[in-house]
Structure 1
Amino acid sequence: MTVPAGGEAPMLVLFDIDGTLMHAAGAGRAAIEGAMVEVYGTSGPIDELPFDGMTDPQIARTLLRAAGLSGAAIDAGLDRLWTEYTARLQREVVERRGRMRPAPGVPAILDALEEAGVALGLVTGNIVAGAQGKLSAVGLWHRFPFGAFGCDDADRNRLPPIALDRAYRHTGTRYGPGHTWVVGDTPHDIACARESGLPVLGVATGRFSVADLRRAGANEAFPSLLDTGRVMSTLARA
């Protein structure tokens, strides 16, 4: 993978966070559960809901609706919810930092992509404060100068265009399907990329297997990002 003449970055890679870039040792789930109990008096059926690929606002609304709260009651507490969540996440990160870690191969592939002149961004269901708190705990936040987040839109499928617009504003380059990959660990990551016509590299470092991710429509899927050369070769085929 090389940078074309003129220095224009050849490619943009947009990463999911949880299960893809890192494992947060349950910090986000604990923080949002505590915040919902504090603000609404309930966290709903949280033990029954897989968070994989959901945006933070989608998680909160799903659980609170299941607990019987009206849309108006949910809306009334959202600002306080995210303030409380952010404070609790900071505490959870301190307590769990020793168990939080980048996913296998992540630092090496980020280094290789940066050395090749590839632009790096995020497409994540985390709100910005959540993304910053988690990634900072494992030394990765500074690697991503832009992205699209759950606080931009609760519908994950609407996030890639936001990320592409921010990539343009940051780099001055218009990236499209021929020059952009999404990397994620869930079928939701794949669906949101496909909605925008973007190719997807699935990584089975979360709850879903390589076979699951391929069935969901990933262009390619690997057990992890450990094989830097193979990953780079795949991404070069955008």
Structure 2
Amino acid sequence: MTHPHMTIVFDLDGTLVDSLPDIIASVQHGFTSLGLPAPADAEVRALIGHPLEAMYAHFAPAHTASLCAIYREHYARNFVNRSRPYPGVVELLRTLRERGYKLAIATTKRTDMARRFVEALGLTPAVDYVQGTDGFPHKPAPDVIHRALAALGAQGLWMVGDTTHDILAGRAAGLRTYAVTWGTHDAGMLATTAPDELQPDLERLLEHLPPRPRA
């Protein structure tokens, strides 16, 4: 008997990878390069998960294009200075694949940058597909999730993320939602979207995902 591919969809930054210090540093670098006052870490952190253009437009709308260009050049050279998978992530991904699940990443990063980042961190063998947001609506719209699942020809089960955008996108895509509090948004903010699970780590995810029958 053939069983459908059941897929867990993960956000990337702040969910699988502790990448916020490198992102924040690259965001601030653009302001410094142009001689503009740089926003504080907390101000940048509050906007992570939005498209880059929207982040910069919030702070300096007249300089958005220049800031985005500087960010992309700087981040591409510095994206793994301090970024590392969160504790237990590699083992969790391995266990889920051993249990018969497909694993997809759905991120607001551009696809090319997301795949470079995943590769640089050694996570490419641990997932089945990486989908970025390229010219279509970003989370909380569900488009990036739908595209990842369509590429795999799979059915989605859970959306796992660290921001309200992730949780809202997962719900819009018809998936159960798992919010992890070690990333961008704290537990209080995440709770406003009523995720199915709100946890300080990813361990409880395994309790929901027993081994799948083999085809």
Matched, 1:117 2:100: yes
Measured against aligned partners, the alpha-carbon deviations of 1:47-71 in whole angstroms (never above 9, x if no partner) come to 2332333232322332332xxx2xx
What is the CA–CA distance in structure 2 between the aligned matches of 1:44 and 1:151, rounded to whole Å?
30
Residue 138 of structure 1 aligns with which residue?
Answer: 121
Residues 104 and 148 in structure 2, CA contact (< 8 A), matched pair in contact too? no
What is the CA–CA distance in structure 2 between the aligned matches of 1:222 and 1:59, rounded to whole Å?
27
Matched, 1:26 2:21: yes
- Whichever residue aligns with residue 46 of structure 1, its letter is P
Give 1:27 deviation, angstroms.
Answer: 1.4
Alignment coverage as a number of residue pairs: 207
Q: Which of 178, 183, 193 is the matching residue for 1:201? A: 178
Query: CA distance change for structure 1 residues 211 and 105 in 2, over 3 Å: closer, same or farther?
Result: farther
Residue 71 of structure 2 aligns with which residue?
Answer: 85
Give 1:21 deviation, angstroms.
Answer: 0.4
- Whichever residue aligns with residue 76 of structure 2, its letter is Q
Identical pairs, percent: 24
Residue 172 of structure 1 aligns with which residue?
Answer: 153
Matched, 1:231 2:201: no
- Whichever residue aligns with residue 117 of structure 2, its letter is K
Measured against aligned partners, the alpha-carbon deviations of 1:132-153 in whole angstroms (never above 9, x if no partner) come to 3433342114434434424343
Residues 57 and 154 in structure 1, CA contact (< 8 A), matched pair in contact too? no
Measured against aligned partners, the alpha-carbon deviations of 1:35-87 in whole angstroms (never above 9, x if no partner) come to 4665xx3667632332333232322332332xxx2xxx74xx37x934x4333
What is the CA–CA distance in structure 2 between the aligned matches of 1:29 and 1:6, rounded to whole Å?
46
- The alignment yields a C-alpha RMSD, in angstroms, of 2.9
More helix by share: 1
Residues 22 and 102 in structure 1, CA contact (< 8 A), matched pair in contact too? yes
Query: CA distance change for structure 1 residues 87 and 45 in 2, over 3 Å: closer, same or farther?
Result: closer
Query: CA distance change for structure 1 residues 140 and 42 in 2, over 3 Å: closer, same or farther?
Result: farther
| TM-score (structure 1 length as normaliser) | 0.72
1:109 aligned counterpart, secondary structure:
helix
Residue 16 of structure 1 aligns with which residue?
Answer: 11
What is the CA–CA distance in structure 1 between the aligned matches of 2:29 and 2:16, rounded to whole Å?
24
Give 1:218 deviation, angstroms.
Answer: 0.6
- Whichever residue aligns with residue 85 of structure 2, its letter is P
Residues 121 and 145 in structure 1, CA contact (< 8 A), matched pair in contact too? yes
Structure 1 unaligned spans of 5+: none
Residues 185 and 204 in structure 1, CA contact (< 8 A), matched pair in contact too? yes
